[in-house]
Each structure stands twice: as structure tokens, then as C-alpha cells.
Structure 1
Amino acid sequence: MSPHVLILGGTTEGRELAAALAALPGVRVTTSLAGRVTRPGALSGDVRVGGFGGAAGLAAWLREQRVDALVDATHPFAEAITANAAQAASATGVPAVVMRRPGWQPGPEDRWHLVPSLAAAADLLPRFGPRVFLTTGRIGLAAFAHLTDRHFVVRSVEPPEPPMPAHTEVLLARGPFTVDDETALLREYLVDVLVTKDSGGAATAAKLTAARGLRLPVVVVRRPSLPEGVTAVPDVPQALARLGFGPS
């Protein structure tokens, strides 16, 4: 029987892994998407959309669909999904791999302020000027909604979910972005401080370079820790090797 690999996707790396696995003879690959983005990019193999109903639901799906390996290639901040995947893999004995792109690292000229959460980022904002460029995604803006004396420029792929700050401009855009474009945006909107999550990867890193060039402070929300006993691989080749489809 062909090996069946389930990818919990939604990232560029998950899409690349699906393509690599689908190209292998005799391998069945299914990518599961949470459904938060209405127009996801094309994916190789089978695709399912929607949640599983927690760890127990995912474990049941792994058994019913005879899944041989599980890959968590979700966003680094998809904490609940990662926890559910670890529990489901443990309950079923299905081998699991977590794939996480490396996080960003500040350079000597960066003015980064590392915080553990969106709420902590909001608490820090009164230290800076009133115009905030917020690139933390469309979910979680409620953490900033009480800051009525700030003007927020919010960028996300799709319209953000309320509640959100009273003074908010929304920019709908999908990366990758260039340093020149990001520099022009920061200047056009008179941004005083950038707030972002440590998503890692090159697609959205240009804003950090632009902020460095303009000497702007950057509030960076740290990634949540992986579940106890879970380690991650940084890229597709290492994920394939961990799954037994490539050199170790």
C-alpha cells in the first residue's frame, strides 16, 4: 500500500513539501488547511479544508485515513494546532515531523524590542510615537483595540477580524515585499514603530531591513515554544530525510 503523508499546511514550506512528496512514486500526500485564507495557492496532492475537532478528532482522522506520517508545517504561531498534532501523533503512534523556518535574528544596527505576546507588544507601544505599522496578521487585533491614541496601519492578506483599534487603516497585500517598497511604505505612512511576529523566512523580512535603514524601533513577538519533547527541522530536505524519503 502507498505510504500516506498528512501535511498540516498553510505555509510556503508546506506547499514545497507537498510538491516534493507528490513527485515521489507511490506516495500519497494530503494537505490540510485551516480555511482562514479564502484563496490558497495551488497545492500538489489531495487537499482538505477545515479543522479536525482537536487532538482527538485528528487522531481519529489519522486512523481512518491510514496515515503513515504526519508533518506539522503550520505557521510558527499556530500553537494550538501544533499541540494537537503532537498529542494525536502520540495517541496513534504515527511518526510526526515539525517543520519550522528559522526565526529572524537582529543585527547590531537593529532597534528590536522582544516581547512574549501581542498583549505585551501593546503595552510597549506608548513608549514610541503614535503611528504604528502592525503586521501581526488578521487575527489578534483585539490586543491593541484599547489604544485609542495610536494610529494603526494594519497589513494582512485578508481583511482583519474585529475588534480592532478605532484608528486603523487596512492594507491588503501578500508578500514577498522588496526593501524599496517597504521603505517607501514606512515613509508614506509616517510610521514611528513596526510591530511584527517572528515568522521567519524571506517573504516578509524586507520590512525589518527597511526599518533598520530608517532607524525605526521594531517590536517583535517571540515564537511560542514547541510542546515538550518536540523538535523541529528547518526545511524541506531535512523533513524528507526525517520521513525516510531522503538522505539523513
Structure 2
Amino acid sequence: MTRALVLGGIADASLLAAEIARAGIDAVYSYGGRTRAPADQPLPTRIGGFGGVSGLADYIRRNGITHVIDATHPFAAEISRNAIEACAKTGTPLIALERAPWTRAPGDNWIEVGDVAAAAAALPETPAHVFLAIGRQHIAPFGARPQHAYTLRFVDPPEAPLPFAADVIVSRGPFTLDGELEMMRMRGINWIVARNSGGDGARAKIDAAHRLGLPVIMISRPTLPERLRVESVAEVMQWLGHRTPLGA
């Protein structure tokens, strides 16, 4: 009998949870706990970490988990690596629901970098209005570049003081192209820092930057060990149903 563990994070994880519930598959949805008011899910939900690889492996064993779906954010590398190791230790099938990364289009002005520290270093020395679209856990390196006027956007209000002065927007996506254009024009944004999350829900800021001709410092995804990876909820449901081999 199937009992799935969905490691959630991306918007598609909620779509997957709805499909799993509709199919009557026994499953648990797990949030990492970084969002204080996560969206309601149609599955039994747990919030918080597992305690590393050993804690996740123990959870899989104790709860009779037969399948693990990693639908976390593409930059949540730690939990993804933990899932790979825990599933290997317990012999549990693992699949990753991972949206394709964005690719540079003609006319895009991207500066591609490997991590957040490199993104901060890539900003100009001359003061600029910078939209940091990278989440609150990753802003510390920009404290070394205090000459810029930063705009931040979080799902929850910040609980601790920020490492620099900033205009904070508290809002939950998805965001529209028109809304992003208006926000950037109102705040005089002339640089954008973004992680290459991929998908449609967060893409509007990239399209707005293209429309306005703004430079985007694009942070590449972390490298993960090889694993079974698909890009659609339908493919995950196929995998859970064991109907036909993926790609057939």
C-alpha cells in the first residue's frame, strides 16, 4: 500500500497535494517551517525539520513511508540532499518535482553567478535601487554593500532587524507582469537580484526586467546528486500509480 511523503515548498507542491488527495492516496505533506502562515493543504500536514538525514530516515521508517516526493524549492539544497541520503538508507523510492530553470532570451541582460556572495559582489559600486528577490534567509551578504537602496519582498514580515536599510514589501505571489512593472517603476529599480527558481509563478519579475531593459544578477541553482526528476504533477502521479514507465 502506498504512503507518500511530500516535501513541499514550491507552488506545484500544492497542486500535487490536491491531486494526491483527489486520488485518495495516503500521504503526508511536510513544510520546512520557514513560512509562518503556510497555505492550507488537503493532506495531513507536519511543519518543521526532521533532524538531518538520520531524523528523516527514522521518520520514513516509523511512519511507513513508501514513496518520497521532493517538491521543495530548487534552492533548498540541504533538505534535497538529506532526502537523497535518507531514501538511499531506507531503500525508499524518491522523485523530485523540479520546474525547469529559466533560460536567457534575446535581449535579456543577465549576469549569471554561482551564489549569493557572488551576487552581492556583482552589484555596481555606484549607488543603485536594487530589488533583492531572494528570500530573507539570503540577504546578509548585501550588508557589505550598504550604498544601495534595497527593496525586499517577503511572505512574512521580518522578525529580526535587517542588516541594511530597506523598503520591505510583504506579499505572497504569484505576481503579474503589470504588477511587477508598476512596482519597479514606482521604486526606481535599476538592478534586480534573483535566484533561478524557474516556473511561471515567480517569472513576472524576470519578464518585467526584460521589458524595462534592467540588468538581472541571476544566481544559478546549487548542484545536487543525480536523482529521478520530473517537471509536472502528472508525471509524479504516474510514478505513484506505477502505471507506465516514465518517458514511455
1:22 aligns to what SS in structure 2? Answer: helix
What is the identity, as a one-letter code, of the residue corresponding to 1:230? R
Aligned twin of 1:90 = 88
C-alpha displacement of 1:238: 1.1
Q: CA deviation at 1:164?
A: 3.4
Match of 2:9 in 1: 10
Paired with 2:40 and 2:91, the residues of 1 have a C-alpha distance of: 30
Check the 8 A contact 1:138/1:161 in 2, yes or no.
no
Instruction: Answer yes or no: is the 8 Å Cα contact 2:193–2:216 preserved in 1.
Output: yes
Which of 217, 224, 236 is matched with 2:233 structurally? Answer: 236
For structure 2, the residue ranges without an aligned partner over 5 or more in a row are none
Q: CA deviation at 1:232?
A: 1.4
8 Å CA contact retained: 1:237, 1:246: no
Compared with structure 1, are the counterparts of its residues 127 and 175 closer, same or farther at alpha carbon in structure 2 (3 Å cutoff)?
same
Residues 167-196 of structure 1: CA deviation (Å, up to 9, x unaligned): 211111111111111111111111110111
Give the TM-score normalised by the residue count of structure 2: 0.94
Match of 1:119 in 2: 117
Structure 1 length normalisation: TM-score? 0.94
Q: Pick which of 238-247 and 176-185 moved more.
A: 238-247
Cα-to-partner distance string for 1:68-116 (whole Å, 9 max, x where unaligned): 1011100000000000000000000011111101111111011011111
Partner of 1:102: helix, strand, or coil?
Answer: coil
**1:242 CA displacement:** 2.5
Residues 1:222 and 1:128: Cα distance change in structure 2 (over 3 Å): farther
Q: 1:207 aligns with which of 205, 208, 216?
A: 205
Match of 1:21 in 2: 20
Going from structure 1 to structure 2, the CA distance change for 1:106 and 1:162 (only over 3 Å counts) comes to: farther
- Distance, in Å, in 2 between the alignment partners of 1:93 and 1:100 is 22
Provide closer, same or farther for how the CA distance between residues 245 and 22 of structure 1 changes in structure 2, counting only shifts above 3 A: farther
In 1: Cα distance, 2:56 partner to 2:92 partner: 11
Structure 1 residue 128 displacement after superposition = 6.4
* Shift in CA distance, 20/191, structure 1 to aligned 2, threshold 3 Å: same
Report if aligned partners of 2:192, 2:217 keep a CA contact under 8 Å in 1.
yes
1:136 to 127, 134, 143: 134
Superposition CA RMSD, Å:
1.6
Alignment pair present for 1:68 and 2:66: yes
Match status 1:33 vs 2:62: no
User: Does the 8 Å CA contact 1:194/1:217 hold for their aligned counterparts?
Assistant: yes
Corresponding position of 1:216: 214
The alignment partner of 1:139 has SS state of helix
Gaps of 5+ in 1: none
Q: Which amino acid aligns with 2:166?
A: T
| Aligned AA (2:5) | L
Count of equivalent residues? 245
1:161 to partner: Cα distance: 6.1
AA aligned opposite 2:210:
R
Question: What does residue range 149-160 of structure 1 map to in structure 2 within 5 Å?
Answer: 149-160=147-158
**What's the % identity of the aligned pairs?**
37
Distance 1:164 1:220 in 2: 22
Code of the aligned partner of 2:17: A
CA distance in 1, matches of 2:201, 2:61: 36
- The C-alpha deviation readout for 1:147-170, integer Å capped at 9, x for no partner, is 111110111111246563422111
